[in-house]
Amino acid sequence: MDKNFDLVVIGAGPGGYVCAIRAAQLGLKTACVESRKTLGGTCLNVGCIPSKSLLNASEMYHKAKKEFSSLGIESDNIKLNLSKMMNNKNKSVLTLTKGVEFLFKKNKITHLKGKGEVSSKNTVVVTDDSGKKTKYTAKNIVISTGSVPTSLPGIKIDEKTIVSSTGALSFDQPPKELIVIGGGYIGLELSSVWKRLGTNVTVIEFLDHILPGMDKDISSEFLKILNKQGINFKLNSKVIEVKAIKDKAVVDFTNNKTNKRERIECDKVLVAVGRKSNIEKNILDLGIKVDKQKKIEVNKKFETSIKNIYAIGDVINKGPMLAHKAEDEGIAVAEIIAGQAGHVNYEVIPAVIYTNPEVATVGKNEEQLKKENIKYRIGKFPFLANSRAKVNNETEGFVKIIAEEKTDKVLGVSIISALAGTMIAELAVAMEFGASSEDIARTCHAHPTHSEGVKEAAMAVDKRPIHF
């Protein structure tokens, strides 16, 4: 096999595999190294995709049990078959990872199996399962090795009793009592899954609110919604110690205000306190610059401190750790390497939490605008006043649009709604085109749809919503 490439991409997650495909489309002779057995990275194998499969299935189960009868659908004897639910999840993951394999073949990308390490400016060494090392040369290298879960000092994740998201996606039965440390994306999505499947869930969060970084209106409303769903919260609480004792665990934590110490016994503990960049020692040895959090420093063109070595995705010091951000960077860096003008607009990256209702945001939130001294107007519209949401029993949540006071330019949007994750795309497009709230208000939206809530919120910026 020819061992010389125009581009070697290290890591086949959403950043890396998309970068490899775009580079191949642009005529670059491309290889992609991956150490997992299957392509797709954390997202496809143990992240976005399996969690969405379980979120979908658990929601159906919950609805069949709790909501169908009120719609006139009598369904006695609804039973959970968790191993079947897990098989369905595994099948979806396999189909999608195979799909990436197919795309590699279609685009004539060389799939290098093993662990890839940059050994010099233009060489990558791949170590396969048997320990055999092979050296490849590359005119350009893209590092897209993603991120790994972090833990807390003294807490050892064993993926049995004390688990990361990986373990929490594969319990063989719903735990009776689950403690979730961290009220962020992972904590809240997986709390929802297991709560719906019958687990008693308590989330312990260090801050006095959930979803740090999101609009405060959203995080306080969402907390109320999750509380109503029966998820318990211990806010303002610092976990001190987690111990696994046989098949159980005890979690000790103190209240940040009162210093009162509490202990909860449980069957499983999910540690969801964030992720850290996944970099090997050789990156530092080579002299590639990283920041304090060990994230690779890149410039606008995704170049690291070494020429011809680029980095994208969770491993870099730019933007949120989100799959779609990595994908866009993958496309941009491939285009830059091919001599085009690749670009990512970090001002317009949507973020979605796939609970029910979903939470979605794009652009800036109110707190950020206050800090930046930018004057704004707000338009809010509750789904209680949206006809489609009403007939679907999906009246929780609202749309909040923030527009610049002087120009009316949309600066940020937050949505809580059953369909928020899909609806936010309209706002991302609008913001990319520099839309004003009036532009959205004067755009015809189909009736009856949840999206009319967006139009009404845009009209509310000018204090003229029709249905509220």
185 lies in the binding site for ligand NAI (CB under 6 A): yes
17 lies in the binding site for ligand NAI (CB under 6 A): no
Q: Of 20-28, 80-88, 180-188, 219-227, which part binds ligand NAI (CB under 6 A)?
A: 180-188
Of residues 138 and 428, the one with the C-beta less far from ligand NAI? 428
Of residues 30 and 237, the one with the C-beta less far from ligand NAI? 237
Residues near ligand NAI (CB under 6 A), total: 26
Query: What is the smallest separation between the CB atom of 416 and ligand NAI, expressed in angstroms?
Result: 14
123-162 residues near ligand NAI, rule: CB under 6 A: 152
416 lies in the binding site for ligand NAI (CB under 6 A): no
Q: Give the torsion sign (CA, 113, 115, 119, 120).
A: positive
Query: What is the smallest separation between the CB atom of 223 and ligand NAI, expressed in angstroms?
Result: 12
207-266 residues near ligand NAI, rule: CB under 6 A: 207, 212, 238-239
Distance CA 204, CA 208 (A): 10
Provide DSSP, 352-381: EE-SSSEEEEEE--HHHHHHTT--EEEEEE
Give the CA angle between residues 427, 59, 450 to the nearest 5°.
30
Query: Of 218, 224, 209, 225, which is closest to residue 378 (Cα–Cα)?
Result: 218
Q: Which position among 39, 353, 418, 440 is part of the footprint of ligand NAI (CB under 6 A)?
A: 353
> End-to-end distance of the chain based on CA atoms, in angstroms?
67
354 lies in the binding site for ligand NAI (CB under 6 A): yes
424 lies in the binding site for ligand NAI (CB under 6 A): no
Query: What is the smallest separation between the CB atom of 239 and ligand NAI, expressed in angstroms?
Result: 4
99 lies in the binding site for ligand NAI (CB under 6 A): no
* Upper half-sphere CA count for residue 374 (Cβ side, 13 Å): 19
Query: What is the smallest separation between the CB atom of 152 and ligand NAI, expressed in angstroms?
Result: 5
22-51 residues near ligand NAI, rule: CB under 6 A: none
Q: Which position among 206, 233, 376, 381 is part of the footprint of ligand NAI (CB under 6 A)?
A: 206
Distance CA 320, CA 324 (A): 10
Q: Which position among 33, 181, 362, 389 is part of the footprint of ligand NAI (CB under 6 A)?
A: 181
Q: Which position among 321, 334, 399, 459 is part of the footprint of ligand NAI (CB under 6 A)?
A: 321
* Upper half-sphere CA count for residue 232 (Cβ side, 13 Å): 12
Query: What is the smallest separation between the CB atom of 214 and ligand NAI, expressed in angstroms?
Result: 10
- Contacts for 205 with CB less than 8 Å, ≥ 6 apart: 182, 183, 187, 233, 234, 235, 236, 237
Distance CA 60, CA 180 (A): 23
Catalytically active residues are 447
Of residues 171 and 206, the one with the C-beta less far from ligand NAI? 206
Query: What is the smallest separation between the CB atom of 253 and ligand NAI, expressed in angstroms?
Result: 7
Q: How many residues can be counted in the chain?
A: 468
268-307 residues near ligand NAI, rule: CB under 6 A: 272-275
Chain position whose Cβ is nearest to ligand NAI: 184
* DSSP 3-state percent helix, strand, coil across the chain (nearest 5): 35, 25, 40
User: Quick count: other Cβ atoms within 10 Å of Cβ 345?
Assistant: 11
Backbone angles phi, psi at 178, to 5 degrees: -120, 130
The residue with tokens 């040895």 is: 285
User: Quick count: other Cβ atoms within 10 Å of Cβ 317?
Assistant: 16
189 lies in the binding site for ligand NAI (CB under 6 A): yes
- Contacts for 275 with CB less than 8 Å, ≥ 6 apart: 147, 148, 149, 150, 314, 321
Residues within the interface to ligand NAI (CB under 6 A): 152, 181-187, 189, 204-207, 212, 238-239, 272-275, 320-322, 352-354
